[in-house]
């Protein structure tokens, strides 16, 4: 069973929220588009609620990364 990568997903706290999604085959273009919008959304939330010290993280599993971005695989 796949697990989150320790060190990226920290323990949830009173103000923490983790969302996990499963991707369905054939939706890669839609997922790429949605992922490309997240940094802008994170910036808007951070600006609107600056006192909340918002922090957002996006994590993609290694096996699915190859499906989404085969030419941009991060080096270990």
Q: What is the pLDDT of residues 7-33, one digit of tens each?
A: 555 566 666 777 888 888 899 999 999
- Per-residue tokens: 75: 């080096």
pLDDT for the residue numbered 21: 86
Residue with tokens 């989150």: 4
- pTM score over 0.85: no
Residue 35 falls within a domain, yes or no?
A: yes
Look up the domain containing 33 and give its range.
28-68
- Residue 31's closest CA among 63, 75, 70, 69? 69
Total domain count for the chain?
1
The set of residues, in sequence order, having a beta carbon less than 8 Å from that of 35 and lying 6+ positions away, is: 58, 60, 68
Residue 64 falls within a domain, yes or no?
A: yes
> What separation, in Å, do the N-terminal and C-terminal C-alpha atoms of the chain show?
22
Residue 18 falls within a domain, yes or no?
A: no
Residue 60 falls within a domain, yes or no?
A: yes
- Per-residue tokens: 27: 């939706």
Angle at 51 between CA 19 and CA 58, to 5 degrees: 25
Residue 9 falls within a domain, yes or no?
A: no
């Amino acid at each position: 069973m796949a697990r989150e990568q320790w060190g990226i997903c920290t323990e949830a706290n009173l103000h923490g929220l983790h969302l996990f999604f499963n991707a369905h085959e054939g939706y890669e273009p839609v997922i790429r588009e949605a992922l490309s919008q997240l940094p802008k959304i994170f910036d808007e939330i951070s600006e609107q609620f600056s006192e909340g010290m918002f922090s957002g993280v996006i994590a993609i599993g290694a096996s699915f990364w190859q499906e989404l971005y085969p030419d941009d695989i991060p080096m270990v």
